[in-house]
Amino acid sequence: MGADGAPSQSVPWRKVLWERQPFPDNYVDQRFLEELRRNEGIREYRYWAVVKEASLVGQQLSCVAIFITFWLYMEQGLLAPETLLWTSLVCGLLGYGLYQAFTSQTDSCSETRTHLADLQSAALFLSFTFGFSPVLKTLTESVSTDTVYAMSAVMLLAHLVSFPYGEPSPPGSLSLNAALFASVCLASRLPGALHTFAMLSCALLVFALWPCLLQRLRENSPLQFTGVCVGVCTGGVGGLASQSLGGAVLLSLAVVSVTFLCPLLLVWLQRHKDNIHGPWDEAEICEDLSHFLH
C-alpha cells in the first residue's frame, strides 16, 4: 500500500493535508481499504416490475405499427377517410371522458383546464389542419417517394428513441415533432386532401393524446394499464399481419424482446454489478451553510 522506502511505523501517518509528514505524497497505510464499501445504495430490480415498465416500450412500438397500418389501408383504398375520421372522433371523446374522470380523482384540488378551453384547442387544431390539408397534400410533390419513405422511417425511429417512457404525459417535444413530421410525409402520399386531414387527425390522437391517457391509467389503475398494453400490442401485431406477415413477425420479436428478454438480461446482469466506495470518493459537505448565504 505504501511507497518503497517509507519511514518506519514508529512515526504515525495521519490523513491530513496541513501538516508536513515524512511520507511520500502517495503513501497510505493499511487502514486504507478498511473503509471500502461495495454496492452501496444499489436498487434491487424485480423481474415482473421491470417487465411492467418495459411494456410501455412495447406498446409504443405497437402504436407506430397501428398508425402505419391505417396509412397502408388508406393508400390502398381499403379505408375511407370518413370512416377514419368518425372512428378517431369517437375514440377521442371516449378517451377525453376517461382522462377527465382520472383527473378529477387525482387533481381535485388543483387548477385544471376547463372543457371550453379544451374544445377551443381542438377546434383550432382541426380548423387549421383542415384548411392546410390541400397544401400539405402537395408539400412533397417534388420529393421522390423513396426519400419520403426514408425520412418517415428515420423520424418514426427518432420518435421511439426520444419518447419519454418514464413520464409520457405530456409527450416530449422532440418525440412528438418527429412523429408529426413523419405523419405529414406519409399523409402527403395519400390520394386526396381529406385523406391527409384524416391521417393527421389520427396522428394527433395516437402520438399526442394517447400517451396522456396512458399515463393516467399507469398512475391510477395499474391492472387496466397492463391490460391496455397487452391489447395495443395485440392490435399492432394483428393489424400489421393483415398487410405484411414478415412485418408482423418482426414486430412480435421486437415486442417480446423488449418486454421480456431485456428485463431478464437486466436482472441477470445485476448480480455482476460491483460499485466500490471508500476514502478516495469526493468529499461531501454535510454541514448546514445556509446562514452564510444570507
Burial annotation 195-223 (CB, 10 A radius, 16+ → b, else e): bbbbbbbbbbbbbbbbbbbbbbbbeeeee
Cell numbers 399481419 correspond to 241
Taking the C-alpha atoms of residue 230 and residue 220, their distance in angstroms, rounded to an integer, is 17
Alpha helices in 76-204 (DSSP H): 81-106, 115-137, 145-162, 173-187, 193-204
Residues in the chain with pLDDT values less than 50: 1-5, 108-110
Total-model pTM: 0.78
Residue 1: per-residue pLDDT: 44
Instruction: Determine phi and psi for 56, rounding to 5 degrees.
Output: -65, -35
Residue 283: per-residue pLDDT: 61
**Taking a C-beta distance cutoff of 8 angstroms, is the pair 181, 67 a contact?**
no
Residue 96: per-residue pLDDT: 87
Q: Which residues contact 181 (CB under 8 A, 6 or more apart)?
A: 151, 155
Give Rg (Cα) of the chain.
28
For the stretch 253-292, pLDDT in tens is 999 999 999 999 999 988 888 777 776 666 666 666 566 5
Collapse the DSSP code of 191 into the 3-class scheme (helix H, G, I; strand E, B; otherwise coil) and give the result: coil
**Taking a C-beta distance cutoff of 8 angstroms, is the pair 38, 246 a contact?**
no
